Amino acid sequence: MLQHFGKYLLFMSTLFSRGESPRILFNRTMDEAIIIGINSIFIVAIVSTFIGAVTSVQISYNLDNAFIPRSTIGFMVREMTLLELAPTITSIVLAGKVGSSIAGGLGTMQITEQVDALEVMGINSTSYLVLPKVIASILVFPMLVILAMFLSIGGGFIAGTLTGEISQQEYISGIRSDFIPYNVVFALIKSVVFAFLISSISSFKGYYTSGGALEVGQASTGAVTNSVIAILVADFVLANLLL
């Protein structure tokens, strides 16, 4: 375990040694960002909309006390979305989607000697292949999380009003009450940390694949499990540090 962690730290340090020109790094990062964004936007949209909808239905089910105003439903959907659901659930979904594709892609390149081919050309394969993925994730994840915030709150609105549990005015006044902007900042900080963890852990797992197709599959699964655990631990630590 400790040995793995040491190897991971060494791996991270190679990312920044002797990289390619800034122009190449920029182009590669943009390519990766587009891939990550386009591949994940659909699943993020679906998941966040439904999570928002389910949250609002469940809250209203639990709130049958006549002394609590119905607008509380909107308020609680917003708070839960901003603090936990949008950043953390989205990141866990992305760990599956992005993490497995990073690890699978790098693993395949490793076992088919494509990484060796880069190295022989005098290119630092980690800074060429991995660094753009990490930077791109850090850029794209917050955008996906912001999207997830809107869709989740929107999903709550649709579900709440369609089921007749809450009126449109009540929901809107709920999501506008006692808004703390810092919670959004907190969510974005979390998304950046998670992005770094997912992309670097998955790259690490993929880059050190050896063997054949079977090992590539194992690297992908390993990337997802390790990323998810890292997200949950980091989530706990960040909540203690920053709230």
79 binding another protein? (CB under 8 A): no
139 binding another protein? (CB under 8 A): no
Can you tell me which residue has the tokens 């122009």? Answer: 23
From 58, 72, 114, 225, residue interacting with another protein (rule: CB under 8 A):
114
Nearer to another protein, 79 or 119 (CB): 119
3 binding another protein? (CB under 8 A): no
Q: Alpha helix locations (H) across 63-99? A: 71-80, 90-94
Can you tell me which residue has the tokens 């709230």? Answer: 243
| Tokens read off for 145 | 């999380």
25 binding another protein? (CB under 8 A): no
30 binding another protein? (CB under 8 A): no
Q: Which residues contact 165 (CB under 8 A, 6 or more apart)?
A: 56, 57, 60, 70, 73
Nearer to another protein, 122 or 181 (CB): 122
From 11, 12, 19, 20, residue interacting with another protein (rule: CB under 8 A):
20
Least distance from another protein to the Cβ atom of residue 25, Å:
12
CA dihedral 129, 134, 135, 136 (to 10 degrees): 80
How many residues in the chain? 243
Q: Which residues bind another protein (CB under 8 A)?
A: 17-18, 20, 24, 108-109, 112-114, 116-117, 119-124
